[in-house]
């Protein structure tokens, strides 16, 4: 469950907050957040246990997802709202 909540928040955040919002930026930000969450939560250390605590999944995933999505939204043409 902890792997999916931060990317879901990133998806809604990038759909509502930036002025230059686009579908591509929101989807790439969501995907980047999920990848970071998997890396932080599941990457094994030298002893076979995860390197970081599960508490880092939320902060790192949201930071990476929002940051990457926001950067992409600066370079992609905004999506027209209906």
Name, in order, each residue with C-beta under 8 angstroms of 36's C-beta and a sequence gap of 6 or more.
60, 61, 64, 65
| pLDDT of amino acid 81 | 62
Q: What are phi and psi of 14, to 5 degrees?
A: -70, -15
| pLDDT of amino acid 64 | 95
pLDDT, averaged in runs of 10, over the chain (82 residues): 84 85 90 92 82 86 94 84 56
Name, in order, each residue with C-beta under 8 angstroms of 41's C-beta and a sequence gap of 6 or more.
2, 3, 50, 54, 57
| Residue 51 CB neighbour total at 10 angstroms | 14
| pLDDT of amino acid 1 | 62
């Amino acid at each position: 469950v902890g792997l999916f909540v931060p990317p879901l928040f990133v998806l809604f955040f990038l759909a509502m907050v930036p002025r230059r919002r686009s579908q591509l930026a929101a989807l790439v930000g969501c995907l980047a957040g999920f990848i970071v969450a998997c890396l932080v939560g599941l990457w094994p250390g030298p002893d076979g246990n995860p390197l970081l605590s599960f508490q880092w999944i939320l902060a790192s995933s949201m930071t990476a997802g929002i940051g990457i999505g926001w950067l992409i939204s600066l370079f992609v043409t905004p999506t027209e709202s209906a």
